[in-house]
Amino acid sequence: MKVKRIVANFEVKKPSAAKRFYQDILGLDLMMDHGWIQTYGNSSKMSVQISFASQGGSGTDVPDLSIEVDDVDEAFKRMKKARFKIVYPLTDEPWGVRRFFVRDPIGRTVNILMHC
């Protein structure tokens, strides 16, 4: 048996509230929409990972979700322009990632990162 995919599911009152953050800014495709559930993603091959943490690194709280991007500086610029709340500044971490934490429209803390 082999795990093929991991999907994060978040309970929200209005699934369409995620569109601006996940589709418009991060560029994910709306892959499924049944009204009561909307799934964003893309067809690229990705690594399957799930993390369990006692802290988020550098003394931060554990984020709800981590998203690796190819240009974290551009993601940071777009999030600031869209006025999403940055809860941890753009930082080069000693373990080889450049990242920031942002609050998404449903109140989740999202770690946006790229490996250096």
pLDDT at 3: 77
Q: Could you tell me if 99 and 73 are in contact, meaning their C-beta atoms sit under 8 angstroms apart?
A: no
Helices (H) and strands (E) counted in the chain, each on its own, are: 1, 6
- Tell me, yes or no, whether 3 lies in a domain: no
pLDDT at 38: 96
- Tell me, yes or no, whether 10 lies in a domain: no
Radius of gyration from C-alpha coordinates of the chain: 14
Residue 104: how many other CB atoms lie within 10 Å: 22
Say how many domains are in the chain: 1
- Tell me, yes or no, whether 90 lies in a domain: yes
Q: Which residues of the chain have pLDDT under 50?
A: none
- Tell me, yes or no, whether 58 lies in a domain: yes
Domain that holds residue 85: 15-115
- Tell me, yes or no, whether 67 lies in a domain: yes
- Tell me, yes or no, whether 7 lies in a domain: no
**Element (H or E) spanning 110, and its range?**
strand 109-115
CATH number assigned to the domain comprising residue 107: 3.10.180.10
Q: What is the mean pLDDT of the chain?
A: 95
